[in-house]
A and B are shown apart, each in its own frame.
Chain A
Amino acid sequence: MTHHMTAVSFQKVSRHFGAVRAVDEVDLEIRPGEFFAMLGPSGSGKTTCLRLIAGFDQPTAGHIEIFGETAEGVPPYRRNVNTVFQDYALFPHLNVADNVAYGLMVRGVPRAERMREAASALELVKLPGYGARKPSQLSGGQRQRVALARALVNRPKVLLLDEPLGALDLKLREQMQEELKSLQKALGVTFVFVTHDQGEALSMADRIAVFSEGRVMQVGTPEEIYKRPRSRFVADFVGSSNVLPPDFVARHGGAVGWASLRPEAVRLSEHEGIGATIVSRSFLGASTRLSLMVGGQRLHATVPAGTSLPDDGSPVRLAFDRADLHLLDDQP
């Protein structure tokens, strides 16, 4: 193996708050220059991990390295790591330019130089000429861009983003997703992105770590995570797979054990296949999601919009490839 330095490495890192194990023996390797997402429901420990990297919090046990240097005991103001906060945390008493130049100012960069840097950072986030405004005069999306510029102007080795798109409306969020992604590619900076939105993680990240109850359940590329969830939790949380019990799997697939099946892997057919009944349906635009009963087992299927479907309560037949049935690592 070549000597490959990691950007952020967690070695058996725990953070306990009293009896609560917010982060529980987490091992992670984040590679330089990658867009890494930490995905999980609230309280799963993903934000605490972010705070451990930023230095706002210290691990109870374990070891953290950032580009090979020990992080424990180093205050946040001495780490070359910057954060885009969930509420943006723009300084309300400073204008946009002074907000962006803040990091340079406290490090003693002369005013003229830091104003120049701030202006070019604002250009980078497509807000040229906004320097004189106060944060209160900006829209949510603009504030977010300022927060991004304020972090990037310091040329961090790792940029941390704490649910940065959570407060934006859908359209703006989709636009920002694309921009963030291309910005990251252009700058080559390691991005660590915390989110509870699986769609966001899947569409933006190079790799994803799925968190649950302070532990990392699975790390992998979006495709791996989506197609081959290794545990029931990941199957459920990422794209709501069908989780099927061993007897069902044995009857229709061959193997023995709990398995996951993506709803879009299920096909309806008129004559051959497994007998089922349509219980209900919901129209999703490009597709329709069906709730079916197969024997005593509930199953979801997603079919393209426009598929002609019988009424609720009607019998149908369904089929899927055996290869789409993935055995889970944890057998509940």
Chain B
Amino acid sequence: MTMAATTVTMRPSRGGVFGHLSDVLWRNPRLTLFLMLTPPLLWLGIIYLGSLFALLLQSFFSIDEYSGLINREFTLKTYAELLHPSNLDIILRTLVMSATVTVGAAVVAFPIAYYAARYARGKWKALFYLGIMLPLWSSYLVKVYAWKLILAREGILNWLFAKAHLTWLLDAWLALPIVGGNSLSVSHTGTFLVFLYVWLPYMILPIQAALERVPANLVEASADLGASPRQTFTKVLLPLALPGVIAGSIFTFSLTMGDYIIPQIVGTSRRFIGQAVYAHQGTAGNIPLAAAFTVVPIVVMGFYLWFAKRRGAFDAV
């Protein structure tokens, strides 16, 4: 190969529309950035933020009780309505359910995440990963439907209890106040089970991610310093997994709080926030009250995210 030096050091543009455009964009990185960001920001800004803003605005309107028409004047009346005992009841029920589902999901998720992060290797690791991803991504409605089949009076769960001669135990549980009911599919226990099932993968993945990030030598160091496996677990792994748990709880809490389909299909006739929103905007046509209801999860999640950020949970998402 010869190295005959070419005579020009700076070549001309390759020409054509793209060549010239490329030069212009290279000279103006701000313009390039602007051109790249404009389409997504217009879409999300106008369609999404615009809608959210419209929703927020409507929560400050009120509905005329006699005509049923929306009165477009600024008022806090609708928010005052939220404090009505029956509405407070809905909010409280939703928050308690969200918290219970979150705790339940954390308890069930932890061993799976722990095993996947610390013991599964090679093929098993991939299998675990898919084993968590497939249920996560499979159809939400199908999952709910599956539980309708499971919890049905003539379904598999009652059949299993009968086979094990434990029907008395199920009946005793269903006889309890609050968690009980006529049958599993019309009890809060049923609603809880479905929520737990549907949102569980959202808890496993962040915990697993957090545990994967614990360096092996940290565990060894703990053992080296004389900690028993139990002590290593409670003093080293658990605190380090906590951001993962918090990150997962963001999902389980938020998703439970905003859901209106699960309690409608499996559960009692007592409403959750999502159902209230759906009912108020639908048949009742009371969009202001529906809007005010949606502000509750937004505010709760706002505080929750603020808390989670302080605990460093975002790195685990």
A294 at the interface (CB under 8 A from B): no
- Residues of chain A within 8 A (CB-CB) of B9 are 66-69, 79-81, 157
- Residues of chain A within 8 A (CB-CB) of B283 are none
Question: Across the interface, do A189 and B3 meet the contact criterion of CB distance under 8 Å?
Answer: yes
In the assembled complex, how far is the CB of residue A184 from the closest CB belonging to chain B, in whole angstroms? 10
Contact A78 to B11, CB < 8 A, known contacts A73-B27, A155-B6? yes
Question: Across the interface, do B6 and A80 meet the contact criterion of CB distance under 8 Å?
Answer: yes
> Which chain B residues in 80-131 approach chain A with CB under 8 Å?
none
In the assembled complex, how far is the CB of residue A117 from the closest CB belonging to chain B, in whole angstroms? 7
A313 at the interface (CB under 8 A from B): no
- Residues of chain A within 8 A (CB-CB) of B6 are 80, 155, 157
- Residues of chain A within 8 A (CB-CB) of B23 are 75, 78
Contact A188 to B13, CB < 8 A, known contacts A73-B27, A75-B23? no
**Of B1, B11, B13, B14, which contacts A80 at CB under 8 A?**
B11
A74 at the interface (CB under 8 A from B): yes
**Of B3, B11, B26, which contacts A155 at CB under 8 A?**
B3
Of listed A75, A79, A187, residue having the most chain B CB within 10 A? A75
The answer for the CA separation of A79 and B1 in the assembled complex, in Å, is 21
Question: Across the interface, do A157 and B12 meet the contact criterion of CB distance under 8 Å?
Answer: no
A293 at the interface (CB under 8 A from B): no
Question: Across the interface, do B3 and A188 meet the contact criterion of CB distance under 8 Å?
Answer: yes
A149 to B, closest residue via Cβ? B1
A225 at the interface (CB under 8 A from B): no
The answer for the CA separation of A69 and B27 in the assembled complex, in Å, is 18
Number of CB contacts from chain A to chain B under 8 A? 49
Question: Beta-carbon contacts of A62-84 to B below 8 Å, as 1s and 0s?
Answer: 00001111010111011111000
B5 at the interface (CB under 8 A from A): yes
In the assembled complex, how far is the CB of residue B221 from the closest CB belonging to chain A, in whole angstroms? 29
Question: Across the interface, do B5 and A155 meet the contact criterion of CB distance under 8 Å?
Answer: yes
The answer for the CA separation of A11 and B137 in the assembled complex, in Å, is 60
> Which chain B residues in 10-66 approach chain A with CB under 8 Å?
10-14, 22-23, 26-27
The answer for the CA separation of A178 and B93 in the assembled complex, in Å, is 77
- Residues of chain B within 8 A (CB-CB) of A189 are 3, 5
A142 at the interface (CB under 8 A from B): no
A243 at the interface (CB under 8 A from B): no
In the assembled complex, how far is the CB of residue A68 from the closest CB belonging to chain B, in whole angstroms? 8
B4 at the interface (CB under 8 A from A): yes
Question: Across the interface, do B8 and A80 meet the contact criterion of CB distance under 8 Å?
Answer: yes
**Of A66, A107, A124, which contacts B1 at CB under 8 A?**
A124
A208 at the interface (CB under 8 A from B): no
- Residues of chain A within 8 A (CB-CB) of B1 are 117, 120-121, 123-124, 152-153
Question: Beta-carbon contacts of A115-127 to B below 8 Å, as 1s and 0s?
Answer: 0010011011000
Of listed A81, A124, A157, residue having the most chain B CB within 10 A? A157
Contact A75 to B26, CB < 8 A, known contacts A124-B1, A187-B3? yes
**Of A66, A121, A187, which contacts B10 at CB under 8 A?**
A66
Question: Across the interface, do A80 and B10 meet the contact criterion of CB distance under 8 Å?
Answer: yes
B27 to A, closest residue via Cβ? A73
- Residues of chain B within 8 A (CB-CB) of A117 are 1
The answer for the CA separation of A73 and B4 in the assembled complex, in Å, is 26
In the assembled complex, how far is the CB of residue A105 from the closest CB belonging to chain B, in whole angstroms? 13
Question: Beta-carbon contacts of A34-69 to B below 8 Å, as 1s and 0s?
Answer: 000000000000000000000000000000001111
A71 to B, closest residue via Cβ? B10
A107 to B, closest residue via Cβ? B14
The answer for the CA separation of A157 and B3 in the assembled complex, in Å, is 9
- Residues of chain A within 8 A (CB-CB) of B22 are 75, 77
- Residues of chain B within 8 A (CB-CB) of A78 are 10-13, 23
The answer for the CA separation of A73 and B27 in the assembled complex, in Å, is 7
In the assembled complex, how far is the CB of residue B231 from the closest CB belonging to chain A, in whole angstroms? 41
- Residues of chain B within 8 A (CB-CB) of A157 are 5-6, 9
Of listed B1, B6, B8, B26, residue having the most chain A CB within 10 A? B1
**Of B3, B5, B10, B14, which contacts A79 at CB under 8 A?**
B10
Question: Across the interface, do A155 and B4 meet the contact criterion of CB distance under 8 Å?
Answer: yes
- Residues of chain B within 8 A (CB-CB) of A81 are 9
The answer for the CA separation of A78 and B3 in the assembled complex, in Å, is 19
- Residues of chain A within 8 A (CB-CB) of B11 are 78-80
Question: Across the interface, do B3 and A74 meet the contact criterion of CB distance under 8 Å?
Answer: no
- Residues of chain B within 8 A (CB-CB) of A73 are 27
> Which chain A residues in 173-214 approach chain B with CB under 8 Å?
187-189
In the assembled complex, how far is the CB of residue B24 from the closest CB belonging to chain A, in whole angstroms? 10
Of listed A79, A117, A155, residue having the most chain B CB within 10 A? A155
Known interface pairs A75-B27, A121-B1, A155-B3; 5 further A-B residue pairs with C-beta atoms within 8 A, sorted by A's residue number: A79-B10, A79-B11, A80-B8, A120-B1, A124-B1
11 A-B pairs within 8 Å (CB atoms) are namely A68-B9, A69-B10, A73-B27, A74-B10, A75-B27, A77-B22, A78-B23, A152-B1, A155-B3, A155-B6, A157-B5
> Which B residues are within 8 Å of any A CB, using their own CB?
1, 3-6, 8-14, 22-23, 26-27
- Nearest first, the 6 closest Cβ-Cβ pairs linking A and B are A187-B3, A67-B9, A120-B1, A75-B26, A78-B11, A80-B9
